A and B are shown apart, each in its own frame.
Chain A
């Protein structure tokens, strides 16, 4: 009785959107056909000259704005000076030395030992060996000074960004207004490609390591702040109550109860900060950070692919090692505090290790090769990489050429023309309708305003180009990533491989993909799309895997008990349950694809990424920033739509 009533109700519910969608489609088709010119192309004379305003505003801010006694620039330079303090120390320790005290930098052998010990202390023997070998790799492959420049920056950036993120996160949990403002700000910050920030940062903070630190922090702060908010919110209420009943003052409650109890989530945030910091290594070298990133770009410009790959690998090595260390920190849960005897043993071990380190310095002083490996003792695999990439491009191109030409002529070019001919008003309305159906009026208005903003500031055409490149890439990412994710969830042996692939693709500096892709596919849309895919496929694989792994065991058993075949299990039991996770992966993939357009612009597409790239040299802050914000607008619209749907779906499945 009730069941049939329910199903009738749900049927009428499912018909209603159907009608709406149909209606919207018809209306928009008509609109597309009959739209007047002003609704197709935002009239050139009506374009809001926001770009110029922003550019001029930044110039004014940088050069003239003042708070009476000092200018904005004085202030930012003061920040630079303060930040460069800790950097002087790490730089001195790792590669510069302290010439004023006549001290040299730590020899490589000592740093390798220290890292090995840190790895061992936190993650045990295997991690200890891994960190030792990893850092030794940097020395043996002759990248030591550059690697240490990068490492020094990472060492300073990570704690600063983590601390700022922590503070903002705490602020957000304390104050509702702050939370709303910050959360909107973080959305925008995370959806805007890094390159777009560099201009303004260079204006305010000059060139060199400090602006790099700031650029990185801008990007690494949001995940940390988000994790802090999440962590503080998810502390069991009883733990907070027990803190209160223990007589904690509000400050004691925060620092001694809530934050330590949220430790794990905070460490996840820290892990994100580390990864983001290393992801910025290459991009930041555009505004003056020396080290591995600079060398990598330099090698690419010189067509020394092999060297670039080695520098890339070095970045990946540092990233993965730091990642593993922070993961080990998260996973650490000793059964009990050390006893007095163990403490004494620990002290003895530390003394021995201290002596070991001291003697390593002594040895290095006696044998210069331990200070810095002389060039003829290092080796390189660069020529092999160069050879193999060229061999690949020679042998594969014959086959790929047809593929490339056909795909370009028959698929990509027509679709691109379609995208480029999309009129702005009907397109915005169509998206707004989708928003209305999924999430209601607010979502619809948000989507309309975000996309309308792009048209109003005159970026509609490059934005459609971006949309075209990213949608093609995202579609292929889903087509490839979904099966890989499914395989990874079903075949444990494949899991490792897939996850390692994800790690590598994500940490490997995306610049490196560009060159072989160009060699194989020539400058063109296909090359851009393929470079985007390489980077953006990671989240969809990860989340598909995660979503399938999270399907409750009893649901699976129920499926098996009902006599499902493997195929039925997948299609009817597992995938529907994993949909919310997969959708989240999709939003991440979209964001990453949008991000990559600022890098694939280096290949030569004429989209928003190109606008950012062009603005950089001309210090046209408005152009770069607004193009970045337009990318953010597309990304936010897409993710809002999908996330809203995912949340709804999750609630329907009773998983939320």
Chain B
């Protein structure tokens, strides 16, 4: 086929042709891991479509042919460019007819003004186009032995070498967004579905060995059978990046020089950002502005202003609007149920330099109380939030200025060995000198 590649272990194409997402799925195939049947329409087909305003000759026939090889009435149709552009283009689930239209719509989403602006901001050329993955649907809501989740091979907040993530039992992923179901810590899978859990651990292990790096996967299991839907290297930051690189060197997965190059001096600028050290986390969202703060819960702007007279306050809202500006000004921290790192609350929190956690999907804010992580928390209750990890905990929690002190000390000793400079200097400077020595 000219425009389409099946996703199988025999296919070896670069990310520029099949897109980053399909390239990851090809890696999974080569590692012998379970991926739902799928094929990918190349970026070249997308470029031809964008140039001529129609499918290139032969694509329709190839599409119909390839579709026949995928069992099931419905497929997912996902965008996947050669460079990551998260959330900028279309993805469609449960496409059961008019596959051509779905593919055309994903192609066209390359040129939305928002996607163009994203590329301008991130130095991505406009002429690359996106690949499109057509994949059999696997159902996390099929029966009681089905579910869906995300998993990191190591904790992305600290770098600690234990799997980390969330699982949703008996539901598809969109049930979280709609509030119909609650996610649970990934470890609960070990008790509920030991076979799936073992399969997942084995997969994470093999993927780590392949990338020589921490990894992230999205998975679904249907009637007890595990399927991997997406994979990428972990992209850890700050203290987690330091710990990961040092641990990988200790495990013999990478050498010390590679470990040094894995950590950017930029990571070190954030390695001492205060972090919450809570034993029990009430809920997790997305960190939108780094820092830790402890304060009493206020569920309205008025109560935030009132409670702030007596001490620090964390404003907890479904989302924020201009009416919350007073409350945001009075609070020392912000939590919202909706929105991502580019929401009104996130932009305002960063403008004010206040720790913020956004997008806690299972948070419901009532007047005078909130429901979060299966608990009801009354207004005035003391909570602590971490705007780096997106964690929320009850009570006043201790903070640490780095979760990777011993790892950092060792990594910097290696850096000084490489640069030959053992004088007392700034941490980022020591690493920069090692990078310079390694790159000459």
Task: Determine if chain A interacts with chain B.
Answer: no
State the A residues within 8 Å of B (CB). none
